[in-house]
Amino acid sequence: MSQQHHYKTNLRDIEFNLFEAYRIHEYLGDAPFSEMDEETVRDVLQEVDRLAREEFAASFVEADRTPLELKHGEIELPYGVRKSLDAIYEGGWDRISFPTELGGFAAPPSLAWAVAELLVGANAGAYFYISGGLMAAVLAEEGTPDQVERFAKRGIERQWGGTMVLTEPDAGSDVGAGTTKAVHVEGDTYHLEGVKRFITSGEEDYHENIVHLVLARPEGAVAGTKGLSMFVVPKFLVNDDGSLGERNGVVCTGLEKKMGIKGSSTCELTFGMTKPAVGYLVGGVHDGIRQMFRVIENARMLIGIKSTATLSTGYLNALEYAQVRKQGAHITKATDKTAPRVEIINHPNVRRMLMEQKAHVEGMRALAYYGSWVQDQARRFPDDDAWERRNDLLLPLIKGYSSEKSYYLLSQALQVFGGSGFSMDYPLEQYIRDAKIDTIYEGTTGIQALDLLFRKIVRDQGETLTALSEEIMQTVKGGGADDPFEAERELLGMALEDVQGQLNAMIGALMASQAEPEEIYKPTLHANSLLESLAEVVIGWLLLRHAEVAHLSLTAGEDAFYEGKIASARYFMRTVLPKSKLRRQLSETEDGALMAMPVEQF
């Protein structure tokens, strides 16, 4: 098998989500998406699907097997990776979601994320290099007029690279503990001093310039995240006429050697080591965390999409292998030594593993595309902040749940291959290595869970979650006479009740912690399990809605795709949703003993 053509897309399921489940064509062609009609969107999907499978996926192996090297502060990208990036930029696909005034296609988020799924699943290590457009788009909205012209518009026009620069060696996920400082020079100009780590695409030679968006603390600013400001720090200074000036004082001083996504340069950046690192205060205001979260939230959505895309191609590769690999007799003839060997898809355990992958990847895609549909609505109805709040609630589910399940289930996809999957003859071992980072960066799963509990539920006083729960209950109570999904509705209703029960127990402990601080241990020990159960209830709800659509489409005749959608929903409801009951029981009986356990006992 040639790994150059490793990538297997599922355009049929992507189009089902967009047009049959979420019906985006009903508002395409109208403001704010007047530039895109249904025919255009379908054409885009067809072309990007081809591009992803062919030119962009072509350097998947080369990016992994060709070690990047740091020489005198420079990193040279492999030839194949450069060719893959050429294919993206030549087609203008880096601009898919940008407004027309920035030279973009003004695509709705739903289409932009579909394009992202196709590309990031094909070659994640290469895909991250096109992030410069995102940084420029954020800067176009947050920057001063000069910053917009000098860095945002010119960066998009000249296809510059870009990074988000948060993490520091001693701070890690505790962004507010960062010590990189900004020394005021004049106006919006500062000199930055400090070291940042784990900076994706922090240095590479493909783009003529890289625009870093950097969090730093101005001298005299308060401690914590509130004292951080965001600065534009270009690799090369930009002259008034738009030409590139001298090299700025930001230098790559380390290149991480990683488990996966090896084709993506992950750098240590040092600011102000041998010469001043000139930075410009974004927008002329000290509002760094809010500004940077524009980038962070986009990145979290991308990671959820990446996880889904990687599991999808992993599953489809395993499915193909299971249909051609013959091994062992059928289980009903196991004692017959003369029985013919059968394809392994006929073995019960292989089928179980494949169905678990299928149901989860379709559920994760349903969740991500529902999130993208919500983002569409936020654009369509900007005066209704309920859409933005729902998007906020969904993001930790999309990122946290999808990344965890993708990594686990990719191991099941590899298991289908047996020993062959452990070799480099097939792409599964690389999928697993490339996917593990998804549970870690842009906020670990534990951080996503705390964000869900404290920021998206408690701070919101449960308003957004309650509204979503009411919609789920409408589906639970739906159906009617001869309802083919009566059992599934009942399972969904029970799981929703279990999630509400678990949350009630956790909220009760949170309230008690005001008088007894150690009570805080009880809900925080179960924050991850709450994220998991809530994500599964939302996914179950969406899969049931998809099954209803598929059932109606089956009235015209049999169709394996629609029948498979129904099978996925039923499997998920019957084997996944009941787990929420145990999580509820564990939360309700939590005594916090783990936190009282002496360290020596570990």
Q: Active-site residues: which are they?
A: 442
Q: What are phi and psi of 467, to 5 degrees?
A: -65, -40
DSSP 423: S
**How far, in Å, CA of 346 to CA of 28, rounded?**
44
DSSP 78: P
The CA–CA distances, whole Å, from 457 to 43, 394, 396, 505 equal: 39, 11, 11, 14
Closest CA to 502 of 399, 405, 390, 590: 590
* Helix axes of 402-417 and 428-436: crossing angle, nearest 10 degrees: 160
105-128 as b/e: b if 16+ CB within 10 A: bbbbbbbbbbbbbbbbbbbbbbbb
Q: Quote the tokens at residue 487.
A: 């059992």
The CA–CA distances, whole Å, from 289 to 181, 226, 228, 374 equal: 15, 7, 7, 24
Cis peptide before 234 (omega within 30 of 0): no
Q: What are phi and psi of 478, to 5 degrees?
A: -75, -165
- Helix (H/G/I), strand (E/B), else coil: 506: helix
**How far, in Å, CA of 405 to CA of 426, rounded?**
21
Which residue type occupies 583?
R
* Strand-pair partners of 268: 254
Is-contact 308 368, C-beta < 8 A? yes
Q: Quote the tokens at residue 208.
A: 């003529």
